[in-house]
Amino acid sequence: MAGTLYVVATPLGNLSDLSQRAIDVLRSADLVAAEDTRRARKLLNHIEAKPRVCSYHAHSPPSKLTQLERSLEQGTTVALLTDAGTPAISDPGGHLVARARECGARVVPIPGPSAVTTALSVAGFPAARYTFLGFLPRKGPDRRRILDELATLPRTAVIFEAANRLVRLLSDIEGVCHSDRRVVVARELTKIHEEIRCGNLTDLRVYYEERTPRGEVTVVVEGAVYVPQETDAEAVAQRAHELLDRGATRKDTAAKLAQEFSLSRRDAYRLVTEL
């Protein structure tokens, strides 16, 4: 009988976030396939787990995937770990999951921390629907295409980025979006030097130009305000200013704009707050 592949979510930084179920699985697993074996062994030593550990990451040769598939075919219990958070999110874990199913192995998720949902939970932006973009291409037309799409994306977007490329990312987004677009930079989530900063693109770019960021970074970008093509954006802004100058509250101004210009109440309110 084929074995079982456990997809185990591990802490982003604080080891106390590891669930008891994850601890039980890691203690009973025959083999741990880890993106970084040093980090994995540190975690395993912390919980006194002693499975065999092998390396499996984005640059592993195809033969490594084949070896793991064979282990599963032979009935081995394998636990898949990423560096931090949930495997198969911006890492090659999905390939192993697919191969495990093909060989008849059972695939079991062990849920837990994720930088995506953790950053979203403290961003304060709408998250009923969001777009996860992962790591953007570093250059070329693919990067430009994604940035252009981000400029008009009506949903909150989540992006992963290396700390040394954060300023360039904020600058590139600023180049296609209005400089007042709000973003949240969540750095070193759950770790000792955790930092969560909210502001507009220009303010945060300048902040990190003056203070070199370090560690792991998740960027949350607020969605674009949708204004129907037939609506004159300048006319909407002018009308909003008129209402605010008369003493109307933001809520009442947004309601009036929504009625007069056929905007959704949410988009109208966001437009008012960005003035």
Segment 193-203, tens digit of pLDDT: 999 999 999 99
Q: Give residue 163's pLDDT.
A: 97
- pLDDT at residue 267 in the model: 80
pLDDT at 215 (0 to 100): 94
Q: What is the mean pLDDT of residues 12-41?
A: 97
pLDDT at 254: 86
Is 120 inside a domain boundary? yes
This prediction's pTM: 0.81
Q: Residue 8, SS3? A: strand
* Helix/strand/coil for 33: strand
| Neighbour tally for 202: CB within 10 Å | 15
Which residue, among 170, 210, 167, 163, has the nearest Cα to 188 in the 3D structure? 163
pLDDT reading at 142 higher than 70: yes
pLDDT at 229 over 70: no
Residue 260 scores a pLDDT above 90: no
What is the CB neighbour count within 10 angstroms for residue 30? 15
d(CA 8, CA 21): 9
Could you say which of 53, 83, 113 is where a domain stops? 113
Taking residues 40-49, report their average pLDDT. 97
Total number of domains constituting the chain: 3
Structural domain ending residue among the three candidates 89, 113, 137: 113
**Most confident residue range from 76-80, 230-234, 247-251, 267-271:** 76-80
> Percentage of the chain with pLDDT > 70?
98
Distance between CA atoms of residues 173 and 98, nearest Å = 34
The string of DSSP codes covering 125-175 is S--SSEEEEEEPPSSSHHHHHHHHHHHH--SEEEEEEEGGGHHHHHHHHHH
**Local structure of 12: helix, strand or coil:** coil
Looking up tokens 């192995």 gives: 105
Structural domain that includes position 74: 4-113
Per-residue pLDDT, 25: 98
pLDDT for position 228:
65
Residues 8 and 104 placed together within one structural domain of the fold: yes
β-pairing, 216-221 with 156-162?
A: antiparallel
| pLDDT for the residue 226 | 65
One domain, residues 95 and 37: yes
> In which band, very low, low, confident or very high, does the pLDDT at 164 lie, cut at 50, 70 and 90?
very high
Q: Looking at the structure, do residues 91 and 128 belong to the same domain, yes or no?
A: no
